[in-house]
C-alpha cells in the first residue's frame, strides 16, 4: 500500500482546520483579497501588496467580454436546454482553449523563448526580437497576443502595462513585449498593438508563472462573467430559443465614471 | 427581425471600450479587488468597501478543500485521461450541485423563508425558527448549511460571521441563522454548528443575492482550487493512474502564521 | 472496510474476460446489433429479435437533426475554441435536458400516470386521457411529446408507431398515446401530432424502461450526430468563427431512396 | 451576407422530412441497425451488410469496462454531486482522450504510417514494420494499441480479428497489425498482444476512417455504459459518497452462454 500513497502540496485538511499552502484559510479571510488568494493557491506563496494589486487587476480585466465570445454562447446554449447553472458555466469554460483565451499561453511561450534567446546570446531585447521574428516569419508562425478582432488599441492592455510599471513589476518580459511589437511592425509593415491576452502574458511571465497556467487564469476570471451570462439567460429568455450571436442589444446601465482615484 | 433582437445588461462592447455594468474595465483595473469585481458583475453595482471586503472573504473561504471533494476528484480523473486544463476544471465545476456546494442555495432559501415568516407574522427570530423547524421535522426536511462531514466547528464559518459583524453587514439573516441553530438543537437534541456553506448563505442573503446564484459563488471560488488540483495532477502524477481518494498524504509547506494584522 | 464495499451489477472484469450483464462481450460481438447491446446494458437482459429491431429503430431515429439544435451548436462552439473532439461532444450532450430531448422523459411520466389511472379506475384509455387532460389544463401543465417547432407530421414518429405495431410491441402505452392526442384535440381545439420524442416515449414505456433513462437513450443516439457535427466543424470551418445558427446551407448528397424492402 | 453562409453536408431538414447523408431517416428506421447508421453518419454512405455487421461488433465491444476506467469514475463522481444524467455522462466522455481510448487514434496513425511506408518502398509488411519499429525505439516512441493493464490476451480483440477475416474486411492494415506485433516482439523481447483499441484501429483503417474519428467511435460506444453507470450510481448509492475505485464487488447476473450460433 505504502508506495501507492500519492501526494498533494495544496491543502491540508484536519478537523476544524483548512490550511492552504501553509496558511489557515480563516486567518487569510478578511486579510487578503480574492486575487491575492489566487496568487497564493497557484504560486504557493503570498504576493507582496504590489503583486497582489496587479493580480487583482489581471483577474478584473477578463471577467467578461459580452455575449459573443464562444464561452458566453456555449454557456447560454447549454442553459437554454435546461441544464443547471454549474453545467452551463462548465460548457463555457470548455471553450477556453487554443483559439479562445489561449493566446495567453501562446504569448507566454514566445516571450519565454525570446528572453532566453536574449540572455543566452547576450543581446539587447530588440535584436533578440528581430532574430526570432525573422525565424517566425520563415516558419509562417503567427505570434499570439497581438491584434484583436474588435479593439485596435485595447484599453485593458494599456492599463495593465501602466500598472505593471507603477507597481514595479515590469521587467525584461514587459520590455520584450514592446520590443516584439516593434520587430513585428518592421517585419510585417503594420503595427499590431498587444491585446489583453498579450498584456496578461507579459505580466504572468514577470511573476514567474508557467505558460500552462495561462488558460487557468483566464478560466478563473471568466467564470465570473459566465455566471452572470447564464443567470441572465435563464431569467430573461425563454428556453430552447435560437440564440443569434449578432442580433442583440445592450440595455444595461449607461456608462459612468468611477471618479478620481483619491 | 426587430422583434428577434435579444437584450443583455451585462457588458457593452465598442471598439477600444469594454464597459461592465456601466463601468469601463480599464478604469476598474487597479481600483477594485477581484472580489469587488465579482460583486459588481453579479449585483450590477459597486460594493461599499466593507461589502467588498466581505465578498473577498467569502470567495477566499472556499477556494479549495483538498483532494477528496467530488470536484477535485472529477477534475483530476478527467485530467488523467489526457484532457486539457480547462476541460478538467469544467468537470470539477459540473460536480457542484445539490449535494456539493448546493447547501449555499438550500440554506439561502430556508433563511429567506424564515425571515419572511418572521416579518409576515411579526415574530421574533427564535419563534419563527421554532415554527419552521417543527414544520421541517414533520415533513422530514433536512436543513442545509448545518453540520459537516469533517469539521465540528468550522473556523471559516466562525471567521465569516465575525467579519460580517465587524463590517456592519450582519442583520436579520445572520440573526436568523443563529436562531435556527438554537431551534434545531432544541428539536434534534444535538448542536449542529453552521458549516461554511451556511455562513456564506447568511452573508449572501444579507447582501440581497438570489439563492439561484449560490452555486455560482461557489463555482467562482472553487475554480481557483481546481486549477491548482489539475495542474498538480498533470505535473506530479502519471496519466491513467487509479486515483484512490483515501490513499494520499499532504507534503506541502508546514503551517505558518500570517502574523498580527497590523 | 467490509461495509464500505460498494456493488455494481453491470460488468464483471477478470483477466481476459469482460462480462456484461452476464454475457461475455466477445460472444456478443457479431451476434447482436449495437441497438440490441444498448437494450442489454440498460435493461439487464437480451431483447427478442423484434424488440431488438425496434430499439435499433429508436436509436436510428434521433442521431441528428441538423445544425440548429442546441446540442449541435454547443458542440460546434466548444470545438471552435480548440477543444478536443470528446470535450466538444460532451458539451453537446450537456444541452440535453428538460427542454431539449427531455420530452421523452416528460411524456413517459405522463403516459405512466395515465395508464395507472386507467388501470386503477378500470376505465378505457380515452376516458382516462380525458380525465387527466382536464386536470392538466386546470393546472396549466403542458403535455410533452406533442407538437414540433418544424414538423407538423413527423415521419419518424409515424414510422416508429408502424414498426411498433408490426413487431408486436404496441400495447396499452401506444394506445394511450393515441387517446391522449384525441383528448388534447378535444380540449385544445387543435390537433397536435406526436413528435419523435413522444413516439420514443410510448415505445420505451412498452418496453418497461423507467422515464429517468429517457435522456440516456437520446444522448446515446445523438452522440453519433454530434461526432459528425464536430468533425465537420473542425475540418470545414476556421477556428473562433461566429456561428450564426440561421445562416447555413445544406450541400450534402441529394436525396435518394433505399429502394424497396423486399 | 452571402459569403457568410456556412455549409453542412450531414443532415437536411425540411418540414416533415429529415434526410441524413441523402437518406430519409424514416426510411432507414427498421431497415438498418444502429451500428449501420453510425457508419452512414460518419462515412457518408451506407455500409455493405458485412461492413455493417463489423461496425456493430466494434461498437458492441467497447460499451463498458466496469467501474474502474476514468470515464466511469468521472461520470459517477459528477452524478454523486447531484448533476443530471446527461451532465454526468458528459463528464465521462470528457475523460476519453490520449490516455483513455486514445490508443485507437494513436494506433491508426501508426498503421497508416507503416502501410504508407510499405507501399512507398515496395516492401513486405514485416520488413516495413521492422524498419519503423527500429525508428520508434530510437525515438523512444511507445506504440499504442498493444498491451493492456488487465488483459494479456483480450478476447474482444481476438473476436474482432476473426470477424474481420470472416466478413472479408481484413486487408493490409490487419496484416500490418500482426506484422507490427511480430516486429515489436523481436525488438522488445516480449510479446505484447493487441488490445481492443488496437483491434478497432486496424478495422477502422480498413474501412477508410480518419484517425481523428477514433475517439468518436469510442465515445459513441462508451456512452451506453456510462448511461448505465450513472443510472446505477443514482439509484443504488447515496449522494456525495466517497467512491473508492478498488473497494467494489460485482453482484450482477452470473455468467451465461448465448448458446450456439447455428
At A234-255, the pLDDT tens digits run: 999 999 999 999 999 999 999 9
With contacts defined as CB-CB under 8 Å, which chain D residues touch C161? none
With contacts defined as CB-CB under 8 Å, which chain B residues touch C87? 83-84, 87
State the average pLDDT for chain C: 95
The pLDDT-based confidence of D150 (bands split at 50, 70, 90) is confident
A182-211 per-position pLDDT tens digit: 999 999 999 999 999 999 999 999 999 999
Q: What is the pLDDT of residue C260?
A: 76
Q: Which one of D90, D92, D244 makes the best mutation probe of the A interface by having the most chain A beta carbons within 10 Å? A: D90
pLDDT exceeds cutoff 80 at D262: no
The pLDDT-based confidence of C148 (bands split at 50, 70, 90) is confident
The Cα angle at residue B227 between residues B221 and B230, in degrees rounded to 5 = 140
Q: What is the pLDDT of residue A2?
A: 47
Cα dist from A123 to A138, A181, D14, D103, whole Å? 21, 17, 65, 45
DSSP classification of residue A250: E
The pLDDT-based confidence of A261 (bands split at 50, 70, 90) is low
The Cα angle at residue D194 between residues D192 and D197, in degrees rounded to 5 = 135
> How many CB pairs (< 8 A) connect B and C?
11
Nearest CA in chain A to B58: A29
Mean local confidence (pLDDT), A60-64: 98
pLDDT exceeds cutoff 50 at B1: no
Q: Do A156 and B30 touch (CB under 8 A)?
A: no
The pLDDT-based confidence of C87 (bands split at 50, 70, 90) is very high
Q: Which one of D82, D87, D246 makes the best mutation probe of the A interface by having the most chain A beta carbons within 10 Å? A: D87
Closest partner CB to D97 (pick from B70, B81, B102): B81
CA–CA separation, A92 and A77 (whole Å): 9
Max Cα–Cα distance, chain B, nearest Å:
63
Across D43-62, b (16+ Cβ under 10 Å) vs e yields beebbeeebbbbbbbbbbbb
Q: What is the pLDDT of residue D261?
A: 67
Mean local confidence (pLDDT), B78-96: 98
Q: What is the pLDDT of residue C2?
A: 46
pLDDT exceeds cutoff 50 at A84: yes
| Residue D11 bridge partners (DSSP) | D20
Mean local confidence (pLDDT), C152-163: 95
CA–CA separation, D200 and C110 (whole Å): 42
The pLDDT-based confidence of B179 (bands split at 50, 70, 90) is very high
Q: What is the pLDDT of residue B3?
A: 58
B109-148 per-position pLDDT tens digit: 999 999 999 999 999 999 999 999 999 999 999 999 998 8
Mean local confidence (pLDDT), B155-174: 97
Phi first, then psi: give them for residue C23, nearest 5 degrees.
-115, 140
Closest partner CB to A10 (pick from B25, B53, B252): B252
The pLDDT-based confidence of A40 (bands split at 50, 70, 90) is very high
The pLDDT-based confidence of C150 (bands split at 50, 70, 90) is confident
- From A24, A18, A19, A20, select the one nearest A43 (Cα to Cα): A20
Mean pLDDT is lowest, of C190-194, C220-224, D203-207, for: C190-194
Nearest CA in chain B to D243: B245
Mean local confidence (pLDDT), A88-110: 97
Nearest CA in chain D to A79: D87
| Percentage, residues of chain A above pLDDT 70 | 98
Across D16-38, b (16+ Cβ under 10 Å) vs e yields ebbbbbbbbbbbbbbbbbbbbbb
Mark which residues 84-123 of A lie under 8 Å from D by CB: 84, 86-87, 94
B33-64 per-position pLDDT tens digit: 999 999 999 999 999 999 999 999 999 999 99
Q: What is the pLDDT of residue C172?
A: 97
A150-170 per-position pLDDT tens digit: 888 899 999 999 999 999 999
The pLDDT-based confidence of A3 (bands split at 50, 70, 90) is low
D120-141 per-position pLDDT tens digit: 999 999 999 999 999 999 999 9
Cα dist from C239 to B56, C78, C206, whole Å? 36, 10, 45
CA–CA separation, B45 and B39 (whole Å): 7
| Percentage, residues of chain D above pLDDT 90 | 94
CA–CA separation, B230 and B248 (whole Å): 15
Nearest CA in chain D to C26: D156
Cell 469539521, residue located: B151
> How many CB pairs (< 8 A) connect B and D?
106
pLDDT exceeds cutoff 90 at C72: yes
Mean pLDDT is lowest, of A52-61, B218-227, C146-155, for: C146-155
Cell 459518497, residue located: D241
The pLDDT-based confidence of B260 (bands split at 50, 70, 90) is confident
Q: How many CB atoms lie within 10 A of CB A149?
A: 8
Q: How many CB atoms lie within 10 A of CB B241?
A: 15
pLDDT exceeds cutoff 80 at B73: yes
Q: Do D73 and B78 touch (CB under 8 A)?
A: no
> How many CB pairs (< 8 A) connect A and D?
11
CA–CA separation, B255 and A20 (whole Å): 9
| D205 contacts D112 by C-beta, under 8 angstroms | yes
- From C70, A102, B222, C88, select the one nearest D94 (Cα to Cα): C88
Q: What is the pLDDT of residue B261?
A: 66
Closest partner CB to A156 (pick from B29, B66, B227): B29
pLDDT exceeds cutoff 50 at C1: no
Q: What is the pLDDT of residue C259?
A: 83
Q: Do D81 and B100 touch (CB under 8 A)?
A: yes
Q: Do A80 and C95 touch (CB under 8 A)?
A: yes
D11-39 per-position pLDDT tens digit: 999 999 999 999 999 999 999 999 999 99
Mean local confidence (pLDDT), D212-221: 98
pTM beyond 0.90, yes or no: yes
State the average pLDDT for chain D: 95
Nearest CA in chain D to B86: D94
With contacts defined as CB-CB under 8 Å, which chain C residues touch A106? none
| Percentage, residues of chain C above pLDDT 90 | 94
Q: What is the pLDDT of residue D2?
A: 46
Closest-CA distance of chain D to residue C116, Å: 22
Amino acid at each position: 500500500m505504502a508506495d501507492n500513497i500519492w501526494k498533494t502540496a495544496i491543502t491540508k485538511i484536519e478537523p476544524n482546520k483548512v490550511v492552504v499552502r501553509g496558511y489557515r484559510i480563516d486567518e487569510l479571510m478578511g486579510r487578503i483579497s480574492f486575487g491575492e488568494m489566487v496568487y497564493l493557491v497557484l504560486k504557493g506563496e503570498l504576493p507582496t501588496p504590489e503583486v497582489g494589486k496587479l493580480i487583482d487587476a489581471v483577474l478584473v480585466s477578463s471577467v467578461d467580454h459580452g455575449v459573443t465570445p464562444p464561452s458566453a454562447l456555449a454557456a447560454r446554449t447549454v442553459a437554454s436546454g435546461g441544464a443547471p447553472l454549474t453545467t452551463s458555466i462548465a460548457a463555457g469554460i470548455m471553450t477556453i482553449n487554443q483559439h479562445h483565451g489561449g493566446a495567453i499561453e501562446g504569448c507566454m511561450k514566445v516571450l519565454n523563448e525570446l528572453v532566453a534567446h536574449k540572455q543566452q546570446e547576450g543581446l539587447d531585447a530588440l535584436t533578440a526580437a528581430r532574430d526570432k521574428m525573422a525565424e517566425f516569419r520563415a516558419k509562417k508562425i503567427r505570434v499570439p497576443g497581438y491584434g484583436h478582432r474588435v479593439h485596435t488599441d485595447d484599453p485593458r492592455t494599456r492599463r495593465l502595462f501602466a500598472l505593471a510599471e507603477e507597481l514595479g513589476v515590469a521587467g525584461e518580459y514587459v520590455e520584450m513585449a514592446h520590443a516584439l511589437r516593434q520587430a513585428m511592425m518592421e517585419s510585417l509593415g503594420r503595427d499590431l498593438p498587444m491585446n489583453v491576452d498579450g498584456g496578461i502574458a507579459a505580466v504572468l511571465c514577470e511573476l514567474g508563472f508557467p505558460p500552462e497556467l495561462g488558460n487557468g487564469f483566464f478560466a478563473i476570471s471568466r467564470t465570473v462573467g459566465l455566471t452572470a451570462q447564464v443567470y441572465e439567460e435563464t431569467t430573461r429568455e425563454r428556453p430552447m430559443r435560437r440564440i443569434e450571436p449578432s442580433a442583440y442589444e445592450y440595455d444595461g446601465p449607461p456608462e459612468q465614471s468611477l471618479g478620481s482615484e483619491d
